[in-house]
Amino acid sequence: MDIWAGFQLNRKEPVYLQLVRRVKQLLASGQLPDGSSLPSRRETAAQLEINPNTVQKAYKQLEEEGLLTTDSGGSIVSCPEKSLQRLREELVREMGMEFIRSAKELRLSFQEVVGLLSELW
């Protein structure tokens, strides 16, 4: 699987954090199964036209969160069910905060938002 297909970098947020989140989202949504291998740092850097060091930083962070194991042969995602649950909560929390921020900017009440969501769900 090409994990970077359709991935779009923005300039507001550190690039390495965007990479980290991307991988987390793929893991959390089941699109990147436990045990899959990630493309090499050089490969990713070339594809996204960024510096290999930036990819290295992202992969390192994933390792430190226990979602990636890496040896001289490459990097393998490791996402047991327990991590999955934690990941989902983390991501949904971020999404929720972003959604709330936007809703408040549009001056919506909590009740209006919930009404809308129940209608659209």
Binding residues for a second copy (CB under 8 A): 6, 8, 10-12, 25, 28-30, 64, 88, 91-93, 95-97, 99-100, 102-103, 105-108, 110, 112-114, 116-118, 120-121
Told to check if 40 binds DNA by CB under 7 A, we report: yes
First CA to last CA distance, the chain: 30
Which does residue 56 touch among a second copy, DNA, none (CB within 5 to 8 A, set by kind)?
DNA
d(CA 50, CA 69): 22
- Nearer to DNA among residue 73 and residue 119 (C-beta): 73
Sheet architecture: strand order including 37-38: 37-38, 74-77, 68-71
